[in-house]
Amino acid sequence: MKYPFLNLSSVNARYAEDLHLAAKRVIDSGRYIGGDEVNQFNKELAAFCHAPYAIGVSNGLDALRLILEGYKKIGRLHDGDEIIVPANTYIASILAVTHAGLSPVLTDPNPLSMNLDAEGIRSSLTERTRAIMPVHLYGRVAWDADIAHIVKKYNLLVIEDAAQAIGARATTDGLYGSRIAGAIGHAGALSFYPTKNLGAIGDAGAVITHDSQLAAAVTALANYGSDVRYHNIYAGFNCRIDPIQAAMLRAKLPDTQAANARRFERAVAYNNVLNHPLITKPLMSAAATDCIWHQYVIRVGNGLRDNLRRYLTENGVGTDIHYPVPPHLQPCYTDLHHKPLPVTESLASEILSLPIGDGTSVKDAAEIARIINRFPLT
Ligand SMILES: *Cc1c(COP(=O)(O)O)cnc(C)c1O
């Protein structure tokens, strides 16, 4: 494949020296759970997100689940409470809600931003709504003044799924002033799955929050529910981040804004060159940082998405689909109650993700766009 969708060894090659040094530091330290490496990572990540608390955990799904379970422990959420969630998200967002015994209210996204918007939230509000979970899908922040207004009016918790959006900046202040994804609402989850913009060398995630009580609950829940050694206030989990992953992430965190900016350059190249009557390009807003381009997702009309995908494979271009089957159509959720979700279902059949990571140059992106422009109409 001349233009692979994503090649993780080439992504990490630029950090190889620092990663090897960091791995050696952890191996030689003799400290393989918790300790300084994790504490330093938490501090650096909190500063990066403009939030008082960051807690490294095992992965993004656990980060979301710990937030929800934590809010239950401190009495802000209760069994069966409704949480408004975009229906076109990755299944992990929904799994976290159902695992915590809460009720996800699947909501169609705005077809242009492909994110939850104020209109969607209004259409899903009921007496039992206690929280919203904006998912900053593909790296685009799902937050604006209208959403902030609804949240304040109905006193809702805002739990961000920022798994795809590290370092993205809202164009409107968050609830505590921070505009950085994950720190816009009351609490947010990050994922460092290897393909994410900031990827670990394995699984890792983090909880970001402004709430000291939630931070304490999450920290305890992630460590068997223990607040003080051998003292368990909750029947908790083991969802700690490994020091080796904290060290890997510390090596890469300082380059994250620059890495996001490189993705933006490729997105601009795609948007400038792509010009095909069947293709809808993703929104390109004025602010370069309100989307960190975790994915560059086009929509293909006339039922030709799979044909275009085949054509691109034949022409040496790797692609992916995020996501081909929405959560409510998965076998595990056949009994999940939901309203009709026409936007989510049509998106699932039309979306196509193009290569955008390090390893794809701006020149490659322009060439891929030219290949797409030559895609025959029939
Ligand atoms: C990756 C991802 C998750 C889950 O993160 P993991 O670290 O893989 O558990 C959750 N939500 C979204 C939107 C994601 O993209």
Distance 85 CA to ligand 1 centre (A): 14
Alpha carbons 372 and 88: distance in angstroms, whole number: 25
Residues 335-350 have pLDDT tens digits of 999 999 999 999 999 9
Judge if the beta carbon of residue 58 lies within 6 A of ligand 1: no
Nearest atom in ligand 1 to 195's CA = 1
Whether 94 lines ligand 1, by a CB cut-off of 6 Å, is no
- Residue of 164, 207, 241 best suited for mutating to test ligand 1, as the one with most atoms within 8 Å of CB: 164
**How would residue 108 be classed by pLDDT, with cut points 50, 70 and 90?**
very high
Is ligand 1 within 6 A of the CB of residue 162? no
Q: Which atom of ligand 1 is nearest to the CA of 92?
A: 10
Tokens for 135, please give them. Answer: 């998912």
**92 vs 219: CA distance, rounded Å:** 21
Tell me, using a 6 A CB cutoff, whether residue 138 lines ligand 1.
Answer: no
Q: Are strands 279-280 and 296-300 parallel, antiparallel or unpaired?
A: antiparallel
- When pLDDT is cut at 50, 70 and 90, the band that residue 232 belongs to is very high
**Average pLDDT taken over every residue of the chain:** 97
Residue 302 alpha carbon to ligand 1 centre in Å: 30
Buried b / exposed e across 247-260, counting CB within 10 Å, b at 16+?
bbbbbbbeebeebb
User: Looking at ligand 1, which atom is closest to the CA of residue 322?
Assistant: 15
> What is the predicted pLDDT for the residue at 377?
83
pLDDT over 80 at 285, yes or no = no
What pLDDT does 68 receive?
98
Substitution site in 59, 193, 201 for ligand 1 pocket (most atoms within 8 Å of beta carbon): 193
CA distance linking residue 124 with residue 139, whole number of Å: 24
Per-residue model confidence as pLDDT tens digits over 251-264: 999 999 999 999 99
What is the distance in A from the centroid of ligand 1 to the CA of 96?
10
Q: What's the gap in Å between 189 CA and the centre of ligand 1?
A: 9
Q: Return the ligand 1 atom nearest residue 135 CA.
A: 13
The model's confidence at residue 286, banded by pLDDT at 50, 70 and 90, is: low
pLDDT over threshold 90, residue 325: yes
pLDDT digits (tens, 9 = 90+) for 351-365: 999 999 999 999 999
Beta-strand pair 231-232/82-86: unpaired
Interval between CA 204 and ligand 1 midpoint (Å):
10
